[in-house]
């Protein structure tokens, strides 16, 4: 809603034989600029986020703008007026499959059993075009295909709402990230328009966040914020190697314990998807090794 009006984009149904009344009774407004919480920045109060249009070409592999086409903001709520709403990031890994974090399926104070309820799925909208271009690519969620709490992923079947079709889904590389290699995180920090964080891998192995399984995560020093959750980690060749899910570690008194962001290795996520919904793997694009 850029001003004092709402613009509806309608797709006609040739089979419809009656008039339809269109209205809305609540909406969620998104600011263009973040408010500046700054929980997980390498330099306090000074985020180094880059517009995808300020980095049109990568030194190796696909351009950042091309990679960004597959990245979207996941927006949902608990339903109805005065209910919690929240955003995350995520990535299209096929024309109809969207990957984000498991913890994006409910508000922060929810119990585990409340995650990915029918209401959350029904209310969800995925916006691939919350950036500086003029395209419109929005999706609704058709179903939850696989998820895991410890690996912190949720795989959603999605359907487009008119607009331009997805041009390129992310290509998956199931290799381990290497310490010191350059990576790119594309995400929506604090629900802002699509942003790029560039850094290097700090550690190639780190335990999972719940069960502390060794080697599930890897760490890096990219700036992140709430809303970055589910953002894809691309290597220098533009291959998807991880899914961001945690910023800096804080204790119960909000004392910072490290300055590392964490991602789940895409290798482990894909392996788990294969055990829960093997047919889905046929839809994905992998790098051959």
Domain membership of residue 50 (yes or no) is no
Indicate whether 121 and 88 sit together in one domain. Answer: yes
Domain boundary pick from 106, 127, 160: 160
Q: Which region, left, alpha or beta, applies to residue 36 given φ > 0 means left and ψ of -120 to 50 means alpha? A: left
Q: Which backbone phi and psi does 284 adopt, to 5 degrees?
A: -95, 155
CA-to-CA separations, 138 to 50, 157, 210, in angstroms, rounded: 23, 13, 32
Write out the residue range of the structural domain in which residue 103 sits: 67-160
Q: Are 190 and 197 in contact (CB under 8 A)?
A: no
Indicate whether 205 and 141 sit together in one domain. Answer: no
CA-to-CA separations, 279 to 59, 145, 183, 243, 274, in angstroms, rounded: 35, 11, 30, 21, 8
CA 14 to chain centre: 35
Indicate whether 186 and 128 sit together in one domain. Answer: no
CA distance 274 to 271: 5
Structural domains in the chain (count): 2
Q: How many CA atoms lie within 13 A of 101 on its CB side?
A: 31
Which one, of 62, 93, 86, 238, lies nearest residue 158 by Cα? 93
Domain membership of residue 112 (yes or no) is yes
Domain membership of residue 258 (yes or no) is yes
Indicate whether 274 and 231 sit together in one domain. Answer: yes
pLDDT tens digits for range 240-278: 999 999 988 877 777 778 889 999 999 999 999 999 999
We report the CATH number of the domain holding residue 154 as 2.40.10.10
Domain membership of residue 85 (yes or no) is yes
Indicate whether 194 and 273 sit together in one domain. Answer: yes
Q: Are 236 and 181 in contact (CB under 8 A)?
A: yes
CA 125 to chain centre: 12
Domain membership of residue 128 (yes or no) is yes
Within 8 A by CB and 6+ apart from 112, the residues are 149
pLDDT tens digits for range 123-147: 999 999 888 776 778 999 999 999 9
Indicate whether 151 and 190 sit together in one domain. Answer: no
DSSP string, the chain: --BSB--------TT--S------S------SS-----SB-SSTT----EETTT----SSSS-HHHHHTTEEEEEEESSSTT--EEEEEEEEEETTEEEE-GGGGS-TT--GGGTT-HHHHHH-EEETT-SSSS---EEEEEEEEEEETTTTEEEEEEEE-SSPPP--PPPB--SPP-TT-EEEEEE-GGGPSPEEEEEEEEEEEE--TTT--TTSEEEE---B-TT-TTPEEEETTS-EEEEEEE---B-TT--B----EEEEEHHHHHHHHHHH-GGGGGGS-B---
Domain membership of residue 288 (yes or no) is no
Which one, of 238, 211, 78, 92, lies nearest residue 155 by Cα? 92
Indicate whether 123 and 192 sit together in one domain. Answer: no
Q: What is the pLDDT of residue 227?
A: 92
Q: What is the pLDDT of residue 22?
A: 73
Indicate whether 256 and 222 sit together in one domain. Answer: yes
User: Model's pTM, two decimal places?
Assistant: 0.87
Residues (pLDDT < 50) of the chain are 1, 56, 58-60
């Amino acid at each position: 809603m850029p001003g004092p009006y709402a613009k509806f984009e309608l797709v006609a149904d040739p089979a419809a034989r009656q008039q339809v009344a269109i209205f809305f009774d609540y909406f969620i407004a998104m600011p263009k600029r973040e408010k500046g919480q700054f929980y997980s920045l390498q330099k306090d109060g000074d985020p180094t986020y880059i517009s995808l249009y300020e980095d049109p070409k990568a030194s190796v592999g696909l351009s950042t703008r091309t990679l960004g086409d597959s990245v979207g903001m996941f927006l949902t709520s608990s339903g109805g007026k005065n209910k919690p709403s929240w955003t995350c990031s995520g990535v299209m890994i096929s024309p109809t499959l969207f990957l984000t974090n498991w913890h994006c399926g409910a508000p922060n104070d929810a119990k585990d059993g409340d995650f990915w309820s029918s209401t959350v799925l029904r209310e969800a909208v995925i916006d691939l075009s919350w950036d500086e271009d003029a395209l419109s690519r929005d999706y609704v969620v058709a179903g939850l295909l696989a998820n895991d709490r410890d690996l912190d992923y949720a795989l959603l079947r999605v359907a487009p709402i008119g607009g331009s079709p997805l041009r390129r889904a992310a290509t998956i590389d199931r290799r381990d990230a290497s310490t010191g290699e350059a990576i790119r995180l594309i995400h929506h920090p604090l629900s802002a328009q699509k942003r790029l964080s560039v850094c290097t891998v700090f550690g190639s192995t780190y335990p999972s966040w719940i069960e502390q399984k060794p080697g599930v995560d890897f760490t890096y020093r990219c700036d992140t914020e709430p809303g970055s959750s589910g953002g894809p980690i691309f290597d220098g060749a533009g291959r998807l190697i991880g899914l961001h899910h945690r910023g800096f570690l804080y204790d119960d008194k909000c004392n910072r314990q490290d300055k590392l962001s964490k991602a789940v290795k895409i290798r482990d996520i894909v392996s788990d998807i294969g055990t829960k919904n093997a047919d889905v793997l046929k839809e994905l694009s992998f790098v051959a090794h």
